[in-house]
Every structure is written in C-alpha cells, then in structure tokens.
C-alpha cells in the first residue's frame, strides 16, 4: 500500500472518483444500447449462421472482443483514470494536510551549483511538493533570508501557491530561520492565555498541526529557544556538497598611521572548497586596476591580502577574485574612501590668542573651517537656530556658556555645559595633575603631567562621563555624553582676566607642544575632521543611519543599480536608509545637491553564506532535523503528461477507426 | 399481349434467335415416348447411318443396301439410328430466398429455365417446367413444339415467389410425380437449412441427367454489410446477429467457398453437373458459354 501511495497521487475526491468510475459501465451500456442491431433481411442466414457458429459460444464477450471502438474507448477512460492518479516515482510523499513551505532565499541560494540556481531548484522542489497536494490540503509559503516573508498564507489554491513560489526572488541577505519559524509556529502552535500551572489556563484556539518543509542549504545559525510543538519539520537540503567557493569575507581600507598620505587595504579570502586554490586578487580604484596579488588559500581556511597604496585620497575601491565559482556574489567586495570634509568649528568667547595661534596651523586649515565669534553671538536668534539644527560640528565655548546645548559636540573652557548634569567643584589653586587617560583619542601623544595651572575648579559630569585629567582636587578635564554628542569640559581657563582687567595666562599649557596637538585631537575627535575616511560598510538588508553634514530636510541615495531614493529627515538630522538590497557602493546626496557627499558600501562578508556545502541537518533549539531526502531525488518524476499524450493518440486512432471502418 | 411483354421481359428476341441454333444434349441417351429429333440407343428409322448387318428373313426390304448387293452379291441390311424425343425438366426453386438480388434470383432462374425450355421446344423435346413444391392441383403443363413457347412463358410468368418448401421435400414430390428419364435442370440457391444432399439423392435415384445450377446474387457472393446487424432470414425469420469485421467477412467468404465447393464435389462425385451462376452473368452468356462448356447445350 505504501508502495502504491508513493507511486500514485490521488487528485480527486471520492465522489469524483465515483462519477469517473461510472463512465466505463456507461460506455459498455451505451455500446449495448447502440447494439440494437439494425435488422436487415437476407435471403438466408444459412451461411451466416455457419459463419458465426463458433462465435456464438460466448457471444457477449465475443461481441465485446470484436468491437475495437469499445475497447479503445475503455482504454481511453482507463488512461484518463491513470493520469488522474498521477503515477510518478522517486518523489517524497507530501505528508500532512497542512503544509508550510519555508523557502530559503538567502545569498547562498544564488549559488549556481544546481542549475540554474539553488533557489530555482528549491522553487522547483516546492512546486513539486505543491503538485502532490491532495484535494483539501492547505499549504503556506514563506520565504526567508534574514527576515521572513509570508508569500502566501494557507490556501488550497495550488495555482496561487505555485505562482507565489515562482515569484520568490533571490536576495543577498544572510540567513536567519528564526523569524520564519516563528511565523510558521504562530499558525500551528497557538498561544496560551496564561502561564503554565495557572488554573485559569485556557487554550486560546485549537492547535493545528502542520508539516514544515524547510528548503534550504542550511547555512544558518542554530535557532535557539524554539519549540516545534505541533510542527513536524522536514529539511530538504538544496545544493551539492562539493560546491567549491572562494569568498572575500573582509575588505577594509585604512589610512596608514605612520604615513597619513598612504592607505592600506586589507582583504581576507576564504576557501570553502575541498582543495587548496591559488587565486588572483585584483584591486580596482575608481574602476582602474591598481594592483593585483596572487594568493594561495588552503582548503577550509582563509588567507589575507594587503595592498599599500600611496596618494590615495578618496575614491571607490573594488576587490575582485578571479575565481569562477558557484557563488559570484562573494567574489567582489567594495570599499570607498570618503572625501575629507572640513569640520565646521565655532569658537565663541572673548579673544583668546592662545587658541587663535593653535588654530592657525596649516594642518588645522586642512581639517576645519574655524569661525571666531563674540559671546554676544550666543544670544543671536539666527545663531541659536543654526546651532540647534546642527550647523556646526564643534563649538568651543571659551569662558562662556549658551542657554541651551547646541546640536553639536562642544568644548567648554573654564565653564560647564548648561543644565543640571554637570557641576563645578570648589576652586583649586595650583592643582597637581594626578592622572591622564592616555588611551583616550583626545589625550593621545600628549604630555600634560607637568602642566602648571594657576586656578581651576574640578568638574563633574553626568553618568557615563570619563575623566581625562585628574588632579588631587578632583577631575580637571572630563568628557561626557549628551544625546549622541559629547561635551568636553575643561575646569580651568587658558587665559584669564586679572583684577586690572589685563589678560594673563592661567596655565602654561598653550606654551607647550601638547597644546596644538590637543587642539588637533579635539578637531579630529570632536570636530570629526581628518583625512579621507573609509566609508562604512554594512551587510545587505541592514538599515544605515546617515547624518547630514549640512542641515537639510531630504537626502537622496543612489543605489549601485542606479535606483534613486529620497529620504526625509527623521529626528535630529538623521536619515535612515533601509533599501540595502544590492551589493556595491551607494552614493549619498544631501538636499538638492548634485555632488556626491559621500559613499557607503554594502558587502556580503558572511562566511556562513559563502560556505556552500549544504548542512546535513539543521538544529532547531534542541531538536536536530536531518535532511530527509537528497536534493536530487526529491523531484517527483511525473508520468501523467505521457499518459495524456498516449490517451490523445488512442483518441485519434479511435476517430480514424470510426471514420475509416477499419476492423482487425 | 401480356405474353409479348413477358417474352421481352424474360427472353429477348435476340436471345431467342440465338437459342434457336442450340440443342439440348444429354450424356445419357434415353428412350423417349415419341419420335423426336434425337438419336437413340435404339437403331431405328432415321437418316443417320449406324451399321450394317446380314439380312435375315423377315427384315424390311426397304433397308437392304442394294449397292452393296450389286458389288458383293450379298444382302446386307443398313441400320439407321433411331431418333427420339428428350424429356427436359426444369425445376425452379421459388422460395422466398430466391426473390433477392437485382435482378432477383427467381427472375434469373425463370430466364434460364425459359431459355433452356425454348431450346428444348425448338428441338421438339418434351419440356416440363415445374416449381418446387407445386401442388398437384395445379400441375405444370407438358410442352412440346415451338408453338408452346407462349404457354411456357405464360407459365413462367405466373410463378410467384413464396413457395417455401424444403428442397428435399419439393424434389421428392417431383420425383414421385415424374418418373420419366431425361435431363433435369435444378435451378436453386441450395440454401436449405436441411441440406441439399437428400434432395440430390432423390434425383440421382431417378437416373436423370441432373444439372444443378446454383444461382447466387452478388449480395450473397460479396456482401457489403457494415456495422452491427441483425440478419433476418426471409423464409423462417431466423436471426443471426453479427458485427461486421474483417475477420468475420473473411470467415464468411471461407464458409461460402466451402459451401459451393461442397455442393460441386457432391454433384461431381455422383455424376451430376454443378454450375454456379451469379445473377450478374447475363443469361445468354451463361447459356452460350458456360452451359455449352458443360455440355448441356450444343
């Protein structure tokens, strides 16, 4: 019986079969009705009787045997019945009346080791599973990558299901089965009204068991904390185990710290094949080949490549592997160096020669545009609006304090930020420096232990603040967070006004080498200034948060394929772009500007996706689901088309016989 | 007047003209009742010389060959063959089954009987045409001489189909009533469910020179039937249900051939002549060619 069940798939309900079963007797009946033979008078039946003498023995069967037409008609009906039984072999039998098909559409499914691709193979198998649905069975289709998408909720409509399966598009996202499982489980395992052990525990709705078919190559993490419950999971592995693949799993560009005009490019190539491979890695800069290296990657290992590039200011970088393998998407990686943007810095406060001198260096001129303003500016409404919308990257308040913190990083010299978060301590005279946080980027390469300070007050920042310079009387320089920005408070003035109204130095710091370096650090760290910086790289499908450099309401992103998206501002000058579905370099335009403000890149960089060997089993929490059938045998070989063709042939032959009166 | 029409219907003037030159031949020489135009086994008075024999006293002097006597001086008597008349019987099967075909087998049988009868009449033979199963109350006329042509034709014309008697019975009744020797032409289709053997055995016992002319229509020889049919026997309403198929038709042809050959063999073994006549063959052709070949006419 089980053999028969594997061989045939019932496509009709019992009453439909009943109707069909009535057809052959009907044909025979009609045949006998038709056999109301035409009486014809003959001179004598003498010879005829002798002719059919021996045929009379079993006349009814003889009659049937002689009727080729009847035989052909019955054969045709039998063929139709056989076709309706849909004989086939080597197929997996679709189990259960409720079926959930989870089709993996992640990046690894783009591999072409199964022609035309793994996803197409998965779709083919999904369609063949739908084909095996019996009347009354319902199925649901979910495609998943890092997110799950219900392509079609439970339906009996096979055509719709097949349409939806065919519409599943490959993505370049990573794989995460969890969401898909939860979507499936939500329909099979109903929730409970209360917790376990509760007397009021009520089942909300009837649990509906379902069979879960996971069509995937299994390149995914173990799904923790998931109970199958009523779901019966079946895993159909897709892909060939021997699919070789070389992949770039890391690609970054960075400025050489020793030689700021040079850049270093790092790449890491993984080999997921069974054999060691030598591959040529080519680096392209703005589309031009800049360098190439030959590297050998052992089997199941990785190998690094490094390029040193001089005079690399800004531009687009592309790393390519000259390896035609099953998955092409991970053979190219992208990176971009964003053009350095001068930081906009405002110095507010009374005249300060020390600061002016420190900000007049060539290095600073390259890094920032510096404005000086009187403290009277702080009350100007135009400035207040500019500051409130992020018109500056950094505002240095020298011996003055705004009414409200601006949307920028700030430095307070001799003051603290407005509000209750910060507080000043008791005045200190000639405090000795106890400790300096040299690890902090602001204090790198600075020697401030011998700093002489006439008068100071200790500062105390909000929770999360860090002490940069500590003295016996308390912290002198602290840095603290504020809604995405950072405030730096220095507890002493650089220049103070004495009783006579003369400007005198409060510390010897401006005369030390450490001061211009500190100012430079401030501009780089808080002002965001610096040389060309590597554009951020995100994984496909991950939203990118972008901050406009100028206060604009809209931002336009052009994807590698040239698709332009205009974003509206969300909150404080931030824009969120989530259509990172293409690999490559994205261009960011601010406002109505026609110049590319900067770039960001989307790279696969996922070792799990690049590893094309299909997993033998997938782990769902503590359940291990083994691959049930090998991918090649899941496809049901259907015979019904041939049977229908044969039936057509029989029909044509019957027609010929009927018309030509050919009898054998 | 009707007779004239019937003549042209049954026997055309051209045929009659053609038949005038023919005569009936029998392989057996029989003794007739009256002097006819036919040689007899008996020596007698005719113009045809047979033999000589020595004169014995009492012989008719008219037959002495005086020329021989002059040369040999001995008396010899010239013997001549006797000429006698011939009894010709045509036995027509007028059963319902003979009323088939285009023209009907019965008409064909009548034509054939008429033609042979006319030959007999021309040669002053005794011609008797009878229908199988004819009642004693209406005996068929015995005809002699050309003048009887019209009577013969009238009689033939009067024969209606539907006298359904088994062949054997009809022949038996004929044999009981006619004991004379001579030529008998039995015109029938031989399709008798009781078999034809008994009937032919009766004829054999009569020492007749028997010619069996089996008349069959093309519909019987090459039936053109199609589909599922219920064949109804026109005589006894017997039914045979057939589904026409190639094997069935082949089987029929075999059966037909076996039937005809069986009849022929039966006849030949018993010294009878059997001739298959299809109604397609014109009567004149049958008489002029086939019957001539068989030696019935000359």
Per DSSP, the residues of A79-146 read HHHHHHH--EESPPPP-SSEEEEEEE-SGGGG--SSSS-HHHHHHHHHHHHHHTPPTT-EEEEEEESS
Give me the residue label for tokens 């769902």.
A620
Report the CATH fold assignment for A246-338+605-609. Immunoglobulin-like (2.60.40)
Would the pTM count as exceeding 0.80? no
Q: Which residue of A40, A663, A664 is in closest CB contact with B231?
A: A40
Domain A536-602 is found in CATH 3.40.50: no
Question: Shortest Cα distance from A45 to chain B (angstroms)?
Answer: 5
Residue B212 near residue B273 (C-beta atoms within 8 A)? yes
Calpha distance B114→B10 (Å, rounded): 7
Residue B26 near residue B123 (C-beta atoms within 8 A)? no
Residues of chain B with CATH 3.40.50.410: 2-29+85-217+272-294
Calpha distance A457→B14 (Å, rounded): 163
Domain A98-190+205-241+614-635 is found in CATH 3.40.50.300: no
Q: Identify the DSSP state of A287.
A: T
Closest CA to B202 of B134, B272, B275, B136: B272
Residues of chain A with CATH 2.60.40.10: 246-338+605-609
**Cα angle at A317 between A315 and A320, to 5 degrees?**
165
Q: Is A373 exposed, middle or buried (0-12, 13-18, 19+ CB in 10 A)?
A: middle
Residue B203 near residue B182 (C-beta atoms within 8 A)? no
Residue B171 near residue B203 (C-beta atoms within 8 A)? yes
Is it the case that residue B4 has pLDDT exceeding 50?
no
Give how far Cα A448 sits from Cα of A347, A414, A451, A461, A510, Å.
23, 17, 5, 21, 11
Q: Is B5 helix (H, G, I), strand (E, B) or coil?
A: helix
Q: What is the ipTM of this complex?
A: 0.75
CB contacts of B233 in chain A (<8 Å) are 42, 44-46
Q: Chain B within 8 Å of A38 (Cβ-Cβ)? A: yes
Q: How many CB atoms lie within 10 A of CB A270?
A: 20
Q: Which residue of A46, A50, A52 is in closest CB contact with B242?
A: A52
B248–A47 CB contact, under 8 Å: no
Question: Shortest Cα distance from B115 to chain A (angstroms)?
Answer: 25
Calpha distance A310→A304 (Å, rounded): 20
Per-residue burial over A603-615, b if 16 or more Cβ lie within 10 Å, else e, is bbbbbebbbbbbb
Strand order in the sheet with A288-297: A288-297, A277-285, A315-321, A332-338, A533-534
Which residue stretches of A514-562 are H helix?
Answer: 514-525
Q: Chain B within 8 Å of A49 (Cβ-Cβ)? A: yes
Provide block-wise average pLDDT over 10 residues at a time, chain A (664 residues): 59 84 85 72 81 62 63 87 77 67 88 86 87 81 88 87 91 85 74 50 61 84 77 83 85 72 83 87 88 89 86 80 84 83 84 86 81 84 79 87 87 90 88 86 82 89 90 90 87 86 86 87 77 75 80 86 87 81 88 82 86 82 72 58 89 80 52
Chain B, 227 to 246: residues with Cβ < 8 Å from chain A are 227-235, 238-246
Closest CA to A260 of A183, A358, A351, A340: A340
| Residue A193, pLDDT score | 44
**Cα angle at A403 between A400 and A404, to 5 degrees?**
115
Per-residue burial over A43-71, b if 16 or more Cβ lie within 10 Å, else e, is bbbbbbbbbbeebeeeeeeebbebbbbbe
Chain B, 91 to 110: residues with Cβ < 8 Å from chain A are 96-98, 100-101, 105
Report the CATH fold assignment for B2-29+85-217+272-294. Rossmann fold (3.40.50)
Calpha distance A347→A370 (Å, rounded): 7
Give DSSP secondary structure letters for A302-317: EEEEEEEESS--SEEE
Residue A247 near residue A610 (C-beta atoms within 8 A)? yes
Q: Tens digit of pLDDT for each residue in B135-156?
A: 655 677 888 888 888 888 888 8
Question: Shortest Cα distance from A644 to chain B (angstroms)?
Answer: 29
Give how far Cα A40 sits from Cα of A33, A573, B46, B225, Å.
18, 103, 59, 10
Residues of chain A with CATH 3.40.50.410: 98-190+205-241+614-635
| Residue A68, pLDDT score | 73
Q: Chain A within 8 Å of B196 (Cβ-Cβ)? A: no
**Cα angle at A642 between A641 and A647, to 5 degrees?**
95
| Residue A187, pLDDT score | 67
Domain A343-525 is found in CATH 3.40.50.880: yes
Q: Chain A within 8 Å of B118 (Cβ-Cβ)? A: no
> Number of helices and strands (H, E) in chain A?
15, 37
Angle between helices A640-660 and A68-85 (to 10 degrees): 170
Calpha distance A548→A24 (Å, rounded): 79
Q: Is A37 helix (H, G, I), strand (E, B) or coil?
A: coil
Closest CA to A583 of A606, A613, A552: A606
Q: Chain B within 8 Å of A46 (Cβ-Cβ)? A: yes
B234–A48 CB contact, under 8 Å: no
Residue A441 near residue A521 (C-beta atoms within 8 A)? yes
| Residue A34, pLDDT score | 62
Residues of chain A with CATH 3.40.50.880: 343-525
For residue A199, report the phi and psi dihedrals to the nearest 5 degrees.
-65, -25
| Residue A629, pLDDT score | 60
Residues contacting B57, CB < 8 A, separation 6+: none
On average, the pLDDT of chain B sits at 80
Q: Computed over its alpha carbons, how large is the radius of gyration of chain B?
A: 23
| Residue B194, pLDDT score | 82
- Beta-strand ranges (E) seen in chain B are 35-54, 76-84, 87-92, 126-131, 142-144, 183-188, 209-216, 228-233, 239-243, 273-278
Strand order in the sheet with B183-188: B142-144, B126-131, B87-92, B183-188, B209-216, B273-278
Residue A374 near residue A557 (C-beta atoms within 8 A)? no
Q: Tens digit of pLDDT for each residue in B49-93?
A: 778 888 888 888 888 889 989 999 999 888 876 666 678 888 888
Calpha distance B116→B26 (Å, rounded): 13
| Residue B42, pLDDT score | 55
Calpha distance A270→A369 (Å, rounded): 44
Residue B274 near residue B267 (C-beta atoms within 8 A)? yes
Considering chain B, what percentage of its residues have pLDDT values greater than 70?
86
The total number of residues written for chain A in this structure = 664
Strand partners, A628: none
Question: Does residue A116 have a cis bond before it (omega within 30 degrees)?
Answer: yes
Where does residue A653 fall: left (phi above 0), alpha (psi -120 to 50 degrees), or beta otherwise? Answer: alpha
A40–B225 CB contact, under 8 Å: yes
Question: Shortest Cα distance from B197 to chain A (angstroms)?
Answer: 15
CB contacts of A55 in chain B (<8 Å) are 248
| Residue A2, pLDDT score | 45
Calpha distance A131→A183 (Å, rounded): 23
Give how far Cα B102 sits from Cα of A136, A455, B98, B159, B278, Å.
69, 150, 11, 18, 11
The chain A residue lying nearest B99, using CA atoms, is A43
Question: Shortest Cα distance from A10 to chain B (angstroms)?
Answer: 39
| CA B155 to chain CA mean position, Å | 16
Tally A–B CB contacts below 8 A: 99
Q: Which residue of B223, B228, B255 is in closest CB contact with A50?
A: B255
Calpha distance B209→A568 (Å, rounded): 129
Calpha distance A392→A348 (Å, rounded): 12
For residue B40, report the phi and psi dihedrals to the nearest 5 degrees.
-120, 165
């Amino acid at each position: 019986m089980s053999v028969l069940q594997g061989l045939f798939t019932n496509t009709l309900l019992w009453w439909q079969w009943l109707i069909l079963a009535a057809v052959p007797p009907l044909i025979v009946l009609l045949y006998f009705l038709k056999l109301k033979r035409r009486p014809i008078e003959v001179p004598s039946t003498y010879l005829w009787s002798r002719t059919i003498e021996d045929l009379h023995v079993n006349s009814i069967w003889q009659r049937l045997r002689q009727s080729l037409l009847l035989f052909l008609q019955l054969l045709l009906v039998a063929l139709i019945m056989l076709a309706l039984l849909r004989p086939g072999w080597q197929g997996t039998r679709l189990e259960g009346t409720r079926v959930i098909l989870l089709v993996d559409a992640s990046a690894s499914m783009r591999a072409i080791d199964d022609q035309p691709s793994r996803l197409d193979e998965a779709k083919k198998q999904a369609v063949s599973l739908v084909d095996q649905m019996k009347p009354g069975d319902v199925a649901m289709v979910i495609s998943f990558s890092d997110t799950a998408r219900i392509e079609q909720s439970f339906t009996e409509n096979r055509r719709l299901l097949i349409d939806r399966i065919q519409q599943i598009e490959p993505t370049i996202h990573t794989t995460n089965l969890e969401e898909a499982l939860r979507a499936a489980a939500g329909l099979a395992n109903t929730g409970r009204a209360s917790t376990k052990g509760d007397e009021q525990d009520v089942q909300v709705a009837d649990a509906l068991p379902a069979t879960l078919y996971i069509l995937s190559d299994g390149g995914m993490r173990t799904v923790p904390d998931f109970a199958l419950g009523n779901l019966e999971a079946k895993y159909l592995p897709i892909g060939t185990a021997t699919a070789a693949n070389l992949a770039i799993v890391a690609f970054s560009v960075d400025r050489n710290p020793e030689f700021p005009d040079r850049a270093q490019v790092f790449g890491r190539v993984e080999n997921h094949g069974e054999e060691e491979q030598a591959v040529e890695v080519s680096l392209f800069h703005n589309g031009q080949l800049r360098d190439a290296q030959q590297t050998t990657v052992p089997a199941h290992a990785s190998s690094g490549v490094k390029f040193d590039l001089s005079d690399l200011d800004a531009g687009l970088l592309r790393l390519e592997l000259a390896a035609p393998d099953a998955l092409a998407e991970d053979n190219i990686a992208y990176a971009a160096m964003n053009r350095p943007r001068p930081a906009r810095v405002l110095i507010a406060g009374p005249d300060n020669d020390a600061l002016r001198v420190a900000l007049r260096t060539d290095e600073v001129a390259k890094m920032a545009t510096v404005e000086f303003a009187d403290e009277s500016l702080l009350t100007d409404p135009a400035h207040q609006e500019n500051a409130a919308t992020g018109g500056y990257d950094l505002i240095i308040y020298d011996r003055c304090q705004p009414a409200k913190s601006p949307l920028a990083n700030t430095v307070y010299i001799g003051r603290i930020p407005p509000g209750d978060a910060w507080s000043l301590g008791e005045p200190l005279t000639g405090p000795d420096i106890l400790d300096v946080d040299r690890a902090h980027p602001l204090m790198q390469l600075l020697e401030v232990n011998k700093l002489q300070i006439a008068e100071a007050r200790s500062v105390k920042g909000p929770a999360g603040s860090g002490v940069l310079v500590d003295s016996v009387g308390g912290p002198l320089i602290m840095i603290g967070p504020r809604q995405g920005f950072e405030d730096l408070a220095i507890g002493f003035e650089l220049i103070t006004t004495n009783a006579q109204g003369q400007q005198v130095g409060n510390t010897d710091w401006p005369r030390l080498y450490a001061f211009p370096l500190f100012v430079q650090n401030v501009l780089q760290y808080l002002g965001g200034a610096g040389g060309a910086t590597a554009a951020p790289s995100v994984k496909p499908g991950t939203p990118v948060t972008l901050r406009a450099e100028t206060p604009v309401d809209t931002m336009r992103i052009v994807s590698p394929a040239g698709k332009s998206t205009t974003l509206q501002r969300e909150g404080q000058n931030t824009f969120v772009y989530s259509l990172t579905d293409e690999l490559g370099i994205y261009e960011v335009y601010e406002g109505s500007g026609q110049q590319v403000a900067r770039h960001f890149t989307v790279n696969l960089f996922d070792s799990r996706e690049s590893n094309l060997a299909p997993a033998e089993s997938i782990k769902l929490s503590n359940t291990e689901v083994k691959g049930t059938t090998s991918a090649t045998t899941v496809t049901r070989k259907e015979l019904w088309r041939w049977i229908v063709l044969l039936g057509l042939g029989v029909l044509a032959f019957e027609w010929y016989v009927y018309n030509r009166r050919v009898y054998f | 007047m009707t007779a004239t029409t019937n003549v042209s219907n049954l026997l055309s003037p051209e045929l009659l003209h053609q038949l005038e030159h023919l005569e009936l031949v029998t392989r057996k020489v029989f003794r007739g009742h009256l002097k006819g135009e036919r040689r007899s086994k008996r020596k007698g008075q005719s113009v045809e010389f047979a033999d000589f024999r020595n004169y014995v006293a009492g012989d008719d002097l008219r037959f002495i060959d005086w020329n021989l006597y002059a040369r040999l001086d001995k008396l010899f008597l010239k013997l001549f063959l006797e000429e006698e008349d011939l009894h010709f019987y045509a036995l027509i099967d007028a059963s319902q089954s003979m009323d088939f075909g285009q023209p009907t087998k019965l008409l064909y049988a009548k034509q054939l009987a008429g033609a042979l009868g006319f030959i007999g009449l021309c040669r002053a033979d005794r011609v008797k045409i009878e229908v199988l199963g004819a009642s004693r109350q209406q005996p068929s006329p015995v005809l002699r001489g050309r003048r009887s042509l019209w009577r013969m034709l009238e009689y033939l014309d009067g024969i209606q189909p539907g006298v359904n008697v088994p062949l054997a019975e009809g022949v038996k009744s004929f044999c009981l009533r006619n004991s004379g020797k001579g030529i008998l032409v039995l015109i029938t289709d031989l399709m008798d469910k009781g078999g034809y053997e008994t009937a032919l055995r009766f004829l054999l016992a009569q020492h007749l020179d028997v010619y069996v002319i089996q008349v069959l229509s093309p519909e019987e020889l090459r039936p053109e039937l199609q589909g599922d049919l219920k064949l109804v026997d026109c005589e006894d309403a017997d039914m045979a249900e057939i589904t026409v198929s190639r094997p069935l038709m082949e089987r029929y042809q075999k059966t037909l051939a076996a039937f005809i050959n069986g009849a022929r063999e039966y006849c030949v073994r018993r010294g009878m002549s059997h001739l298959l006549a299809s109604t397609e063959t014109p009567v004149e052709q049958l008489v002029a060619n086939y019957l001539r070949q068989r030696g019935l006419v000359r």
